[in-house]
Structure 1
Amino acid sequence: MYIVENGIPKKIEETTFSDLNMKESDLEEMLRQNVDMLCEEEVSMIIVGQQVRNEKNGRSDLTAIDNDGNIVLIEIKRDKKDIEHRKEAFEFQAIRYAANCASIKEIDELIQNVFAPYVEKHKDEFHSKYDRSLTSIEIAQREVKSFISANGNPQFNRKQRIMLVASDFDDQTLSAVAWLNSNNVDISCYQVLPLQMENKTLIDIKKILPLEDYDDYYVKIANSTVTSYSKRESSDITKRSLPKIEKLMEWEIVKAGDQIKAKNKDDTATLMSDGKVKINKTNEITTMQQWLKPLYGWPSIQTYVFAIDVKTGKSLSELRAEYMESHQE
């Protein structure tokens, strides 16, 4: 694999986190501070827990809430060998944690037992947004209730989601996750692959499960025909997403020069021809995601839900849905 910089091709090589002397805790901290790496532009999410201990003294890596009010368990393994050498299956460990979270029925219970200790641990990060005189519980209450309200007050914790993260996955894990998905368990696998280019480390992230067709990942008895993801399935299979801003502009739903407003905020931006926006207050040019995230203070935000087309008063998500529905064959 090569990347071209200033007309010069530079080779990119796969490596491992262990070769980079990165521990699992280093990967966990990277994702804690940048959970949008796993969310793309269709999910709003905030981290509410880290290394949360359950009744059996197990610890879940990261705990989050998404825009549907669901508790999300993010379980991390550094490299495939870390998965294979575990006594307990990677996916089963996550399922146990999710089962514990299913017992949390009220937001206040999550705040008291999970989020407030997390705020206390990372209080300096919240002081830029909240007064220092507030307690960790008060900050947690304001943060999570504001998030739930801004996302339409969905019912809290109707179901739980599981996100498994590793640089590579063994066949047994992929087979189990595919089966669980086909039986309506919301569990996903994300490959976070470290790459080396000269003295730079790059991170390539792909969602590899769930897929449209799970049969490729079922382990056959006595004769596995599973294709390891390290063989790099095509992006058409490994990444499912709704049309992005470039496609919306191609469809002429919006165009360069249109004004975009942040939902329930006074902030506006001008849409550029390349799909980026120019923030009207500062003239800074950036992506919509990078513009919107600091306005709401969340690490990941549903870009197309919170970006409002000024001329129609509708969100880009609504305009996209209307166009796709009207052009269905």
Structure 2
Amino acid sequence: MALYEMSSENALSPIPLTSFSSMGVYERTHLQKALRAQISAITPGVDTMVLAEEFGDWVGANRRIDLLCLDKDRKLVVVELKREDGASMELQAIRYAAMISAMRFEQAVEAHRKYLTSIGSTTDPERAIRDFLELDDGERVELDEEVRIVLAAATFGTELSTTVLWLNKQGLDLRCVQMRPHLLDGRLLLDVQQVIPLPEAAHYQVAIREKEAQQAVARSSERNMTKYNLSIDGRTFANLAGRRVIYEIIAEALRQGVKVDAISGALPWKGDSTFLSAPGLLSEAQLLERTGNPGSGYFSQDNMLLQAEGCTLAVSKRWGDQVMDAISSIVDLLPAANVSVELSSPTSEPEVVAYDGFEIMQDQSTTITITKNGVACTPTIRVLRDLAAKLGVEVTNGAGKDMNTRQLGAKVMEAVRAQPA
């Protein structure tokens, strides 16, 4: 896009685009020196410090990283610069990232020591890194094995852009930052923009990668063929897959005004990957383009998209063996809950245990009911908490949140079965 100057008469005048080479600007002598002093210009949204310049301390290699950096997440950052077209620079940067991925904290300190010496600084390198990471003296430091890559150039061709997009989908973290020089009254202005990924989509793409990594382990259990009958306020849905049941209940929760963050928070094992989300009223194509996600793990069809809090949402399809936990957790959020879920064709008798005069029953759909002397005890969760206290059972999950009825019921039944005969 063009850069314009707006006059006091509201007239727009284009500021001419120039080139670094025609202005006598060189990568190492000028660009690299300027960016090392203002690294935030090409790392938007990520707090970053420069560790080393022209780093090449590895055996059997005569190539050097333009700028080696560190971010707040203890990830090393390879920064490669080109003053004009960035063709093929991604391949070089990946090689560098592989070479430094095993760098230890002590090696990072030594690299930073050499850099500080080269620029005439007497700052203590270890103290500087610890201050940046907000770590105390003596606290053990391990660098993250994942290495980020930032490519900065005046232009990026289609071949490089396509490659970077594909590599990001495979789990790498590559960013392309475009630096376009403009000439105004003898002054050189830089228009610096992150173009891949777009800054507003970066958060969602990171969440997508994390989701896919977590779910890769559980894919063998995701093909759950169990079918359920669902009823919501008199509306019935017969013979639904578990993931579709979750979709319908989430849709009902949003209709009743439950916040998106509350739903994600009630599903700690899913978190942000519960939804594929982007601001605005979007179509499927627009949502997938905005988030950079192929949509295969979400209900992303146009007729399945949900709207809430100014965003378009696609609900996850992947729930593994936690379908009923998810259903129960979301139902617990509903201000007005009139929801029932049952197997479309139950295959076994309900399980029953007795304790302290109560009978605790879990049916095939994992629904918990409690009776005493043949009379139903409600609310079920309150009775379960009383029994849990007597049995020494924790009532919170690993995330520190109160268990729902199904989760706590299963724990209480397990504790009863473990009691001496």
Q: TM-score range by the shorter chain?
A: 0.5 to 0.7
* Inter-CA distance 187–204: structure 2 relative to 1 (3 Å threshold): same
Q: In the TM superposition, what are the counterparts of 1:60-75 in structure 2 within 5 Å?
A: 60-75=65-80
Aligned match of 1:204:
191
Tell me the secondary structure at the aligned position of residue 134 of structure 2. helix
Q: Structure 1 residues 188 and 172, CA, compared in 2 at 3 Å: closer, same or farther?
A: same
1: CA distance between counterparts of 2:196 and 2:39?
A: 18
Aligned residue for 1:117? 114
Shift of 1:108: 1.1
| 2:9 counterpart of 1:4 | no
Establish whether residue 91 from structure 1 lines up as the match of residue 93 from structure 2.
no
Q: 1:206 to 1:239 in 2, by over 3 A?
A: farther
User: Residue 159 of structure 2 corresponds to which residue in structure 1?
Assistant: 172
Match status 1:22 vs 2:25: yes
Contact 2:42 2:152 in 1 (8 A): no
- Please tell me whether the aligned partners of residues 150 and 175 of structure 2 are also in contact (alpha carbons under 8 angstroms): yes
**Are the structure 2 counterparts of residues 153 and 79 from structure 1 closer, same or farther at C-alpha, using a change threshold of 3 Å?**
farther
Indicate if the aligned counterparts of 1:11 and 1:197 stay in contact, CA closer than 8 A.
Answer: no
The match for 2:46 among 38, 43, 57 is 43
Q: Structure 2 CA distance, aligned partners of 1:97 and 1:182?
A: 20
Tell me if the contact between 1:206 and 1:239 (Cα under 8 Å) persists in the aligned partners: no
What letter corresponds to residue 63 of structure 2 in structure 1?
Answer: G
In structure 2, the partner of 1:142 is 127
Confirm or deny: 8 A CA contact 1:194 1:201 kept in the other structure: yes
Q: How many residues align?
A: 197
Amino acid at match of 1:43: V
Q: Is the 8 A contact 2:102 2:145 kept in 1?
A: no
User: What secondary structure does 1:78 align onto?
Assistant: coil
Tell me the SS of whatever aligns to 2:70.
Answer: strand
Structure 1 counterpart of 2:105, which letter?
A: I
| Structure-2 change in CA distance of 1:73 and 1:57 (3 Å) | same
Distance 1:179 1:9 in 2: 38
Aligned partner letter, 2:130:
K
Q: 1:168 to 1:115 in 2, by over 3 A?
A: same
Equivalent-residue separation in structure 1 for 2:127 and 2:65 (angstroms): 24
Hey, which bits of structure 1, 4+ residues long, moved more than 6 A? 151-154, 237-240
Shift of 1:154: 7.7
Residue by residue over 1:84-141, the C-alpha shift from the partner in whole angstroms, topping out at 9 and shown as x without a partner, is 4xxxx3111001110111121x2112112x1111011012xx35xx4xxxxxxxx111
RMSD between aligned alpha carbons? 2.8
The 2-side partners of 1:110 and 1:143 are apart by: 11
**Helix, strand or coil at the partner of 1:48:** strand
CA distance in 1 between counterparts of 2:143 and 2:78 reads 15
Equivalent position amino acid for 2:78 in 1: L
Using the aligned pairs only, state the percent identity.
24
**2-side partners of 1:18 and 1:153: how far apart?**
46
Whole-angstrom CA distance in 2 between matches of 1:171 and 1:90: 13
Cα separation, 1, equivalents of 2:130 and 2:178: 31
1:275 corresponds to: none
Cα drift, residue 43 of structure 1: 2.1
Partner of 1:79: 84
Give the 3 Å change call, closer, same or farther, for CA 180–239 of structure 1 in structure 2.
closer
Q: 1:77 to 1:201 in 2, by over 3 A?
A: same
Unaligned runs of 5+ in 2: 206-288, 293-421
* 2:6 alignment partner, SS class: strand
The alignment partner of 1:46 has SS state of strand
Deviations 1:163-189 (A, max 9, x none): 000000122111111110011101110
Asked if the contact 2:179–2:193 (Cα under 8 Å) also holds between the matched residues in 1, the reply is yes
Equivalents in 2 of 1:72, 1:29: separation in Å?
A: 17
Mean Cα deviation higher: 61-70 or 168-177: 168-177
Aligned-partner residue type, residue 36 of structure 1: S
Given that 2:80 and 2:150 are in contact with CA atoms closer than 8 Å, whether structure 1 keeps it comes out as yes
Give the Cα separation in 1 of the matches to 2:75 and 2:100: 10
Which residue of 1 is the match for residue 106 of structure 2? 108
**CA separation of 1:172 and 1:153: change in aligned 2, threshold 3 A:** farther
Please say if residues 148 and 154 of structure 1, whose CA atoms lie closer than 8 Å, have aligned partners that are also in contact.
Answer: no
Q: 1:3 to 1:153 in 2, by over 3 A?
A: farther
SS for the counterpart of 2:22 is: coil
Higher Rg = 2
Cα distance in 1 for partners of 2:25, 2:102 equals: 34
* Aligned mates of 1:45, 1:35 — CA distance in 2: 7
The one of the two structures with greater contact order (alpha-carbon pairs below 8 A, sep at least 6) is 1
Q: Is the 8 A contact 1:209 1:238 kept in 2?
A: no
Residue in structure 2 matched with residue 316 of structure 1 by the alignment: none
